[in-house]
Chain A
Amino acid sequence: MSLLQFTEKGIYCERANVYIDPWKPVNYAIITHAHADHSRWGNKFYLCHHLSKPIIQHRLGGDIHIESMEYLEKKSINGVEFSFFPAGHIIGSAQVRVAYKGEVWVASGDYKLEDDGFSTPFEPIKCNTFITECTFGLPVFKWQDQKEVFEDINNWWRKNKEEDKVTILTGYSLGKAQRLIQGVDPSIGKIFTHGAIEKTNEIIRNMGVGLNETTYVTPEINKKDFKGALVIAPPSALGTSWQKKFQPFEVGIASGWMKMRGPRRRRSVDRGFVLSDHADWDGLNTAIKATECEKVIVTHGYTNIFSKWLNDQGIETQIEATEFEGEQLEATEKTDAE
């Protein structure tokens, strides 16, 4: 019996009778992070990191049974030891380390290696079996230093401001949006937010986490006040009537998919910034090596290609189908914070 198995409900630990990020309702769910494809509705009991808890409660309702713990803290269930390690994906995101009688599995959820200055930075864990995503598991995906990306964003914002335009920048409501808010230069101008994002901001601030000042876009705000400002919005707000009040504006998207010219042009926005909360090609390979694992299981992304590559490298790899989505290219919201 494997320590973890892939069942139709999720990643299952039979010995402890718990699931990790189940996609169908179960009794006991250990959650890697608060994005909707990993923390779903309907489980009887949830365990997550402290910083994920209020967000999940907000999304799934205050009445769910949920407990949280700190990174490196251990919880033993029927002799199986569970602990969280930082995944660097978004605030509160964790890799789940599962150990039993010397055997160690790690379910990494989603992760990135670069320190984004907001999420707790990724830490590699030695293990026997490593469960990984590969959303950007192709050698064409190589991220720039985020410092350079934010320099580009700041320059673009400055230029728009000089032309008396509003700068609209999109990223999903939980994670990317806060990374943008925290990464831009707030001395350039005022930062406004869409409702979906401000709600998340509020929860995060209430946890005592610092975040640059933002103003929620309400109907009462005078149109003139938006001039030269930065508006952070979820991708789903693009092309809606909500956007009209910012005219004249320029629109940018911050996403790993903006690396490719096709998707960049398809969205027909003014600018595409390559900024992802997922590991790039080098990141995935580095992370896997650092685990010194004997076996890799890939769950979502370019699984066929990436597993073939790893097998060619002499790392035994198999694919398991899950219902995780990774970073979405089109305008779907991962976390509906409203």
Chain B
Amino acid sequence: MKNFVHLFTQLDQTTKTLKKVAALVDYFNDTSEEDKLWTIAILSHRKPKRTVRTALLREWSAAAANVPLWLFEESYHIVGDLAETMALMHPNLESKHDKSLSEWIDFIIELKDLEEQVSPSSSDALQTKKERVLWAWNQLDETERFVFNKLMTGGWRVGVSQKLMTRALAKHSGIEENTLSHRLMGNWRAETTSYHQLIVASDPADKISQPYPFYLAYAIEVDPQELGNTDTWMAERKWDGIRGQLIVRENQLFVWSRGEELVTDKFPEFEMLTKALPNGTVIDGEIIAYENGQPLGFNVLQSRIGRKNVSKAILKKAPVLMIAYDLLEINGIDIREKPMHYRRSELEKLVKESASEKLLISELVEFRNWEDLVKERANSRQHHAEGLMLKHKNGTYKVGRKKGDWWKWKVDPLTIDAVLIYAMRGHGRMANLYTDYTFAVWKGDELVPFTKAYSGLTDKEINQVDAFVKRNTVDRFGPVRSVKAELVFEIAFEGIARSSRHKSGVALRFPRMFRWRKDKPANEANTLDDLEKLLNLYG
């Protein structure tokens, strides 16, 4: 495992993409096919299933370090990572193992069927999970222990996206990146396949699944008046869903997300489009949750993102469709260089002919002058939209984020001034800093918590808040500190909905700290009534 740990250390030590790719290529060039396969599996979140309960690991780790369990837990709260806490706490011995990555993984998989604790009758060493795990910890040095623990426990973010890993693998193998990314999709497991089968063996589906790079819009920086003649522009709603590319080629359907991930199996409802659309069609649009003639809001869609299996219940609870807004390929011909108005009229025809309830056209917003659009933008929330999209009628479909022909014009966020009342330490990069905050509004003399927010502050501000929290702690509940009600923040959010899951009765969409209101004392923060008003207006 030494070379894998070396790779991990290199990846962990740099934030530079080029260095990460170089480290991965070096590693791939110099490692066995078994280890390569497991590395790909780990970096694409296909670790082996957990074989030891973490409650046991904590207990064993604390005992081996000669500390009580409460102290282990306190340390874990501060370190912010279980695998790391266990790695740091264990007494350091000389590293002496020479197992490869795949051998260690086999070691972990084999733990599955063993007894958990040392039983008084078993005299042979290494017969139980506990004996084996302790043996492993004693063989490994600190970083190796960390890697081993990560393999054994929950999620592991190495700081390498699947895209980056694919790029490195492409360099190593000489196979094209998009081809590889397709080969890496789906439900394969390292336990049941081989490197050769997965990566090297050719797949005829490769070419036909290939997506086009997405054209991404910038937020508009100027007054739209300055865009000139209204005749040359068209406007659409900006839908709040997942950007997707829908491909039908050779009687097969492929759905790609903006992150160039193949998500076909996450959206089985689109399967019917294979027949409804002609071969050689590529549509760009927004996948949104939608029912009874209107969008359902992002929180509904969110309930199915990230799920491995899309159950019948989910399909019913969160039905989706695609709102199509661009056409990139027709009859197998790439038309991205044709003007927007042409692509749009072809798209309209296609959507109409498909006569599918899963494919809608993104309706144009009519306007005669820019004032009309200002009004339309203001009523975005009534349409369950995030704002407007402005597109130049003669523009081509570009690659990546480009200025000029597409602009997004989002509605201003809703805001409310709230008091910071609880703080918790962050995880990962923000471990050991109080970065996770709970905010409250006034109800009479009482502060009622209504949202958490994690983002929006600069590192410098986070340090200031962290120092405040440490000096103004009123009470502690495990990892949470309640603090003196003093700091006021303007919380911005995109939407508000009634929620039975939240104590306050409201759920916010994408809440973040918009501004630190150093000018406002706590008693001038907003009230629960103010929040109710927003809910009645926009909920």
Min CB–CB distance A62 → chain B (angstroms): 33
Indicate whether B380 reaches chain A with its CB closer than 8 angstroms. Answer: no
User: Top 4 nearest A-B pairs by Cβ distance?
Assistant: A262-B431, A140-B88, A265-B429, A266-B429
Q: Kindly report which residue of chain B lies nearest to residue A302, judged by CB atoms.
A: B78
Query: Contact at B79–A139, with CB atoms within 8 Å?
Result: no
Question: Quick one: given A140-B88, A142-B92, are A260 and B71 in contact (CB under 8 Å)?
Answer: no
Q: In the assembled complex, which residues on chain A have CB atoms less than 8 Å from the CB atom of B532? A: none
**Size class of A's contact patch?**
20 to 34
Question: Quick one: given A260-B79, A262-B431, are A139 and B12 in contact (CB under 8 Å)?
Answer: no
Q: Which of B15, B85, B431, B463 contacts A268 (CB 8 A)?
A: B15
Chain B, interface SS category: helix
CA A309 to CA B68, docked complex, whole Å = 9
Residues of A257-298 contacting chain B, CB below 8 A: 257, 259-263, 265-266, 268, 270-271
Indicate whether B405 reaches chain A with its CB closer than 8 angstroms. Answer: no
Known: A261-B431, A329-B432. 20 other contacts (CB 8 A): A138-B71, A138-B75, A138-B78, A139-B65, A140-B85, A140-B89, A142-B92, A260-B431, A260-B432, A262-B426, A262-B428, A263-B431, A265-B159, A265-B428, A266-B433, A305-B71, A305-B74, A308-B71, A309-B71, A330-B463
Binding site for B on A (CB under 8 A): 138-142, 257, 259-263, 265-266, 268, 270-271, 302, 304-305, 308-309, 312, 329-330
Q: Kindly report which residue of chain A lies nearest to residue B83, judged by CB atoms.
A: A261
Residues of B61-85 contacting chain A, CB below 8 A: 65, 67-68, 70-72, 74-75, 78-81, 84-85
Number of A-B residue pairs with CB-CB distance less than 8 Å in the complex they form = 70
Q: In the assembled complex, which residues on chain A have CB atoms less than 8 Å from the CB atom of B88? A: 140-142, 259-260
Query: Contact at A262–B14, with CB atoms within 8 Å?
Result: no
CA A157 to CA B84, docked complex, whole Å = 27
Binding site for A on B (CB under 8 A): 12-15, 65, 67-68, 70-72, 74-75, 78-81, 84-85, 88-89, 92, 146, 159, 426-433, 459, 463, 476
CA A265 to CA B431, docked complex, whole Å = 10
Min CB–CB distance A124 → chain B (angstroms): 22
Query: Contact at B12–A261, with CB atoms within 8 Å?
Result: yes
A selection of 17 A-B contacts at a CB cut-off of 8 Å is A138-B78, A139-B72, A139-B89, A140-B75, A260-B80, A260-B432, A262-B426, A265-B428, A265-B429, A270-B14, A302-B78, A305-B71, A305-B75, A309-B67, A312-B68, A329-B432, A330-B463
Query: Contact at B71–A265, with CB atoms within 8 Å?
Result: no
Q: Kindly report which residue of chain A lies nearest to residue B70, judged by CB atoms.
A: A308
Min CB–CB distance B403 → chain A (angstroms): 28
CA A277 to CA B68, docked complex, whole Å = 27
CA A305 to CA B79, docked complex, whole Å = 14
CA A259 to CA B72, docked complex, whole Å = 16
Min CB–CB distance A152 → chain B (angstroms): 11
CA A257 to CA B80, docked complex, whole Å = 14
Q: In the assembled complex, which residues on chain B have CB atoms less than 8 Å from the CB atom of A140? A: 75, 78-79, 85, 88-89
Q: Which of A139, A262, A270 contacts B80 (CB 8 A)?
A: A262
CA A308 to CA B65, docked complex, whole Å = 17
Query: Contact at A262–B432, with CB atoms within 8 Å?
Result: yes
CA A330 to CA B470, docked complex, whole Å = 14
Q: Kindly report which residue of chain A lies nearest to residue B466, judged by CB atoms.
A: A330
Min CB–CB distance B420 → chain A (angstroms): 20
Q: Kindly report which residue of chain A lies nearest to residue B81, judged by CB atoms.
A: A261
Q: Kindly report which residue of chain A lies nearest to residue B71, judged by CB atoms.
A: A309
Question: Quick one: given A268-B15, A305-B74, are A261 and B432 in contact (CB under 8 Å)?
Answer: no
Q: In the assembled complex, which residues on chain B have CB atoms less than 8 Å from the CB atom of A142? A: 88, 92
Query: Contact at B430–A266, with CB atoms within 8 Å?
Result: yes
Q: Kindly report which residue of chain A lies nearest to residue B16, judged by CB atoms.
A: A270
Q: Kindly report which residue of chain B lies nearest to residue A271, judged by CB atoms.
A: B13
Q: In the assembled complex, which residues on chain A have CB atoms less than 8 Å from the CB atom of B431? A: 260-263
CA A262 to CA B426, docked complex, whole Å = 9
CA A312 to CA B68, docked complex, whole Å = 9
Q: Kindly report which residue of chain A lies nearest to residue B78, judged by CB atoms.
A: A138
Min CB–CB distance B335 → chain A (angstroms): 43
Query: Contact at A139–B463, with CB atoms within 8 Å?
Result: no
Query: Contact at B79–A262, with CB atoms within 8 Å?
Result: yes
Q: Kindly report which residue of chain B lies nearest to residue A141, judged by CB atoms.
A: B88
CA A305 to CA B476, docked complex, whole Å = 12
Query: Contact at B84–A260, with CB atoms within 8 Å?
Result: yes
Query: Contact at A270–B84, with CB atoms within 8 Å?
Result: no
Q: In the assembled complex, which residues on chain B have CB atoms less than 8 Å from the CB atom of A304? A: 476
Query: Contact at A262–B430, with CB atoms within 8 Å?
Result: yes
Q: In the assembled complex, which residues on chain A have CB atoms less than 8 Å from the CB atom of B89? A: 139-140
